[in-house]
Structure 1
C-alpha cells in the first residue's frame, strides 16, 4: 500500500509536468496534460484560442508553434481542410497523451519503490540513527539535500514556462464570438473562444466555420455514396488493390478512397505519389490521414515530383508503407511480384519539368534493365508502380512487365495494351487525381476537378483486370466497366 501510494503520487506529478512535441495541423505543437477535463488549443497571438470538454477527467492543452504558412488566410484554409477529416490528428494527440501516461506510470512505480528499498537496505540500527537525527539541524539539511537531488533528477524541467496571467481568462461561447449570422455545426456548439477580437478576426473565423461545415458535409456525403457503389466483386482466389495518386493534401478524400476500396473488396493499396504539394514536414497531416485511412491494408508507395526531398518517403515508411530500393522486386498483392521507383523530378508550384541528379531518361532505362533482369531470373514483374507511367515505357517495349501504373497527369488513361519486342503483352494505366487537384495543392471545401481511383484485380499471380471510378466535381460517381487484361 505504501509503494502504490508513493507511486501514484509520483506518477501524477510526472504526468502533469510531462510534455510531447508533435507535428499537428501543419504546426510544431507542444502537448501537455492535466485533470481539467477540457481540451484547450492555444493558437498564438493572431487567432483566438479554443477549448471544449474532453469527455473524460483528463484534459489536454495543445500549444501550436511554428508553421510554414505564408498568411493567416492560408493557415485558416489549412485548418478548414484538416477539419474535414480530423481523425488522424486526433489520434496523434491521443497517442502523445497515452505515451505521457505510460511513461509517468513507469517512472512512478520505479520511484515509489526506491524509498522502501533504501529503508530496507539501511537496516534496523541505521534506520534508528536516521530517525533520531531528523530533528537536528544536520538531519534537516540532509533531508533537504536529498529532496533537491530527487526533484532535480526526476522533474522534466520546462524552462521558465509560460508567464503568469495577470487576470482571469474570459472565455465566451463560439456562437457569441462569431455572431448570429453564422450557423454552427452541431459538433462546434459547445466550443468556447478566448480573444483576440476585432480587426476582422470574427469574420475570418465565421467564414472558416462556414467553409468547414460545407466541406465536411460534402466529403462525408461522398463517402456515404461511395459505400453504396455497385462495383465488381472479387471472385474466389482474387485479390483487389486500390490505386490512387496525386492527393495533394486533400485529406477529405481519404474517407472516400477507403469507402471505394471497401465497396470493391480491396485489401491492398498502391500510392503513386504526390501526396503533398512541396514535400515539407508541415504536410505531415496529409500523410497521417492517408496512413490512418489504410492502416489495416497492405500498402506500397512511390514519391511523386511534388514530394520534394526525403521527408514523405521516410515518414510513410515509419508508418508502415513499403517503398522500393533501386531495382528491387518485392512481393505484391495476390502472390504477385512488384517493382517500383520514385520520380526523379523535383518541382514546386511552378515548372515541374526541372530535373536534378538522376534524369527521367536515366531512370526509365534503369527500370527496364531491372525488370528484364528479373525476367531472365524467372522473377517476372507483374506490376510496375511509378508516379508517371512513362517511366515504365522501356520496360513495356521490351516486354518485361505485365502492368505499369501511375498518375501525375491528373487524368485517366488506359488500360492500354503494349506488345513488347519479345512478343509479350503488357498494359499501361494512369489514374486520375485522388484529391481532385487542379494544381499542386487541393485544399478546399470541394473538388476542383474530377477525382479518380482504380481497382486492380489480381488472379493466378498476375493482374487480371481494372475498374475505374471517377468522382465528378458535383459529387456524382461514374463507374467504368471492368476491363479484363488479356495477355
Structure 2
C-alpha cells in the first residue's frame, strides 16, 4: 500500500513539474486583441500586480493596482481608434473611465479565458507526460525495472553526477521556456502618484490609486492628461449626484402579484446614465430590462463598451433587446447575445413571465441620419418588418409586448389589437401613452420613450446630460401590462417621475 501511494505521489510530482511551468509559460507569453473604450487594444498578463495602460508616445503611461490573485497584473496597450482627433479620443476615454465597470468586466473575462487556456494546456501536458512515463516504465519489463531500482538505491558517483547534470539542464530549459521573451517597458521606470505630477487634484478614491511614470510628461501631454482628468471628474460628479437624487425619487412599486420592468432606449453611448437607470430600476423593484436599441452612434466595434456597461450594471436582470438604426452592422447585436441578452428576432418569446415579440430596426443610418423617425426613410423595409410582426403576433394570440426601435416598425401591429402594449424609441422624445381599440376589438397601448442617454442627435457620450433623458417603468400582472410610468432626468440634475398611468388589458 505504501509503495502504491509513493508511486502515485511520484507521478503527481512529475505532472506538476512539467505542467506548472507549461501553464505559466503559456500564460505569460499569451496576448489577446480586444476592444477597450474607443480603442483596439492588446492585453498581456504579467505578475507585477499592476494594470499598466500604454497610450502611446504622446500620453504618459499610467498604472493602478490590479488587486488580482497571485499578483497577476496586465499590460494593456491601447491602439487605433476610429476617432482621429487626439483631444476627442482622450475626452472619450475620460468619460468611459468614469464608468469603468463594464470595461473592467470585459478585461477580467479576457484574462480568465487566457488563464483557463494556459491551465488546460498545462494539464494536458501533465497528463501526457505521466502517461508516457507509465507506459515507458511498463515497456522496459520487470527485470530491467528491478535493476534500475537497485542501482538507484546504491548509485555510483558517475550516476550521481549525471543525474545532477540532467536536473540542471532540465531546470535551465524550463526557466528559458517560461521566462517572458518580450521587453516589458516601464518595469524599471520610476512610478509616482499622479497627484505629484498634478498637485491640484482633489481627493478622489480612484485617482488616488493611479500612478504615472515620473518625468514622462511633456507640457503638451500634461495638458491632455489634465483635460482628461477634468472631464473624468465632471462626469463622476454629475452622474454621481444624479444617482443620489434618483435614490430619493418616488416611483410606484409593484403591488401583490405584480412585477416591473425598466425600458431604456437611444442611450447612444452615454454609459454615465446606466447607474442612474439602475437606481430607478431598484426603486421600482424591477428585475427585467427592455432595451429598445440605438445603444451606440454608429454600431462600430469600439462601441461595444456601451453594451459592456449596460450588461455590467444590469448583470442580475433578465434583458430583452433589439438593435436600432444606428447600431449598424452585426457587432452590437452579437455583443448583446454574447452578454446574455435575449435579442428579439421576430418570434414570440417569454422572458421574465412576459410574452414578447419584436425585431431589430432594418435600417442602417450611420452616425448622422435617421433621427426623426420618418417612415418614408427605407419605407419598404419598415413596412415589411411591420407586416411580419403583425402576422406573427396575431398568429401567436398571446403576445403582451411588441418591442421595436422605431414606432414606424409597428404601426400596423398596434392597429391590429394583437398585443397589449407596443414599446418603441427612436424619436428621442416621448409620444404617448395612447390606447386604441384594434381591428379585433382588443385594446393596444403605444408608448415611445425618450432618449435614455439624453441624446439630441446620434451621440450622447459626454461628461453630463445635454438634454432631458428618460426611462419608463412598466408594471405587469400575470405577464400582462397594467401600468406605465416614465421618469425624466433633467440636465440640471433633477429626477422627475411622471404620473403613473394604469392600463386595462382586453380579455383574450
TM-score normalised by length of structure 2: 0.84
Output aligned runs, 1:287-366, within 5 Å: 287-325=307-345, 327-334=346-353, 336-352=354-370, 359-366=378-385
Of 377, 398, 401, the residue aligned with 1:380 is 398
Instruction: Find the aligned partners of 1:92 and 1:281 in 2 and give their Cα distance.
Output: 14
Deviations 1:397-429 (A, max 9, x none): 232322111111111121111232343321110
Question: How many residue pairs end up in the alignment?
Answer: 473
3-state SS in 1 of match to 2:209: coil
Contact 1:50-1:191 within 8 A present in 2 as well:
yes
> Does 2:21 match 1:9?
yes
Aligned position for 1:216? 236
Aligned position for 1:484? 502
- Further displaced range: 22-31 or 271-280: 22-31
Contact 1:331-1:337 within 8 A present in 2 as well:
yes
The two structures, once aligned, show a CA RMSD in angstroms of: 3.4
Output aligned runs, 1:86-485, within 5 Å: 86-123=100-137, 125=144, 128=148, 161-162=182-183, 168-178=188-198, 180-183=199-202, 185-194=204-213, 196-325=216-345, 327-334=346-353, 336-352=354-370, 359-372=378-391, 374-375=393-394, 377=395, 379-485=397-503
3-state SS in 2 of match to 1:66: coil
Q: 1:171 to 1:483 in 2, by over 3 A?
A: same
> Does 2:98 match 1:84?
yes
Contact 2:25-2:179 within 8 A present in 1 as well:
no
Q: 1:183 to 1:22 in 2, by over 3 A?
A: same
Instruction: Find the aligned partners of 2:315 and 2:84 in 1 and give their Cα distance.
Output: 32
Contact 1:45-1:196 within 8 A present in 2 as well:
no
3-state SS in 2 of match to 1:197: coil
- Further displaced range: 454-463 or 192-201: 192-201
3-state SS in 2 of match to 1:395: helix
Q: Which has the larger radius of gyration?
A: 2
Instruction: Find the aligned partners of 1:466 and 1:288 in 2 and give their Cα distance.
Output: 28
Instruction: Find the aligned partners of 1:27 and 1:161 in 2 and give their Cα distance.
Output: 22
How much does 1:248 deviate?
A: 0.6
- Further displaced range: 345-354 or 411-420: 345-354
Instruction: Find the aligned partners of 1:378 and 1:346 in 2 and give their Cα distance.
Output: 29
How much does 1:373 deviate?
A: 5.1
Deviations 1:446-469 (A, max 9, x none): 101111000111123421110110
How much does 1:243 deviate?
A: 0.6
Q: 1:474 to 1:374 in 2, by over 3 A?
A: closer
| Structure 2: gaps of 5 or more residues | 1-8
3-state SS in 1 of match to 2:280: helix
Deviations 1:149-205 (A, max 9, x none): x98xx97999x844878x952433312323x34435232123221264224211221
Contact 2:390-2:416 within 8 A present in 1 as well:
no
How much does 1:332 deviate?
A: 4.1
Instruction: Find the aligned partners of 1:474 and 1:307 in 2 and give their Cα distance.
Output: 29
Deviations 1:6-58 (A, max 9, x none): 13333333332232332212222222222212221111112111012333522
Contact 1:249-1:442 within 8 A present in 2 as well:
yes
Instruction: Find the aligned partners of 1:213 and 1:203 in 2 and give their Cα distance.
Output: 15
TM-score normalised by length of structure 1: 0.87
Contact 2:468-2:490 within 8 A present in 1 as well:
yes
Contact 1:339-1:371 within 8 A present in 2 as well:
no
How much does 1:296 deviate?
A: 1.7
Deviations 1:362-403 (A, max 9, x none): 43354345434542x452332111111122111222323221
| Structure 1: gaps of 5 or more residues | none
Instruction: Find the aligned partners of 1:478 and 1:381 in 2 and give their Cα distance.
Output: 31
Instruction: Find the aligned partners of 1:311 and 1:75 in 2 and give their Cα distance.
Output: 21
Instruction: Find the aligned partners of 1:346 and 1:389 in 2 and give their Cα distance.
Output: 16
Contact 2:348-2:392 within 8 A present in 1 as well:
no
Contact 1:77-1:443 within 8 A present in 2 as well:
no
Q: 1:13 to 1:332 in 2, by over 3 A?
A: closer
> Does 2:73 match 1:55?
no
Contact 2:437-2:444 within 8 A present in 1 as well:
yes
Deviations 1:292-316 (A, max 9, x none): 1122211111111111111111111
- Further displaced range: 103-112 or 438-447: 103-112
How much does 1:262 deviate?
A: 1.1
